[in-house]
A and B are shown apart, each in its own frame.
Chain A
Amino acid sequence: RKEVEQDPGPFNVPEGATVAFNCTYSNSASQSFFWYRQDCRKEPKLLMSVYSSGNEDGRFTAQLNRASQYISLLIRDSKLSDSATYLCVVNDGYNKLIFGAGTRLAVHP
Chain B
Amino acid sequence: NAGVTQTPKFQVLKTGQSMTLQCAQDMNHNSMYWYRQDPGMGLRLIYYSASEGTTDKGEVPNGYNVSRLNKREFSLRLESAAPSQTSVYFCASSDYSRGNNQPQHFGDGTRLSIL
Contacts and interface: CB of A to CB of B under 8 A. Distances in A.
B106 interface: yes
Interface string A14-54: 00000000000000000110100000011111100100000
A87 interface: yes
A52 to B, nearest CB: 11
B108 interface: yes
A97 interface: yes
A52 B50 CA distance: 26
Interface string B35-52: 100001111010010100
Q: Looking at chain A's contact residues, is the secondary structure mostly helix, strand, loop, or mixed? A: loop
B100 A101 contact: no
A102 B41 CA distance: 8
Interface of B: 31, 33, 35, 40-43, 45, 48, 50, 58, 88, 90, 94, 96, 100-109, 111
Interface of A: 4, 8, 31-32, 34, 41-46, 49, 87, 89, 91, 93-97, 99-102
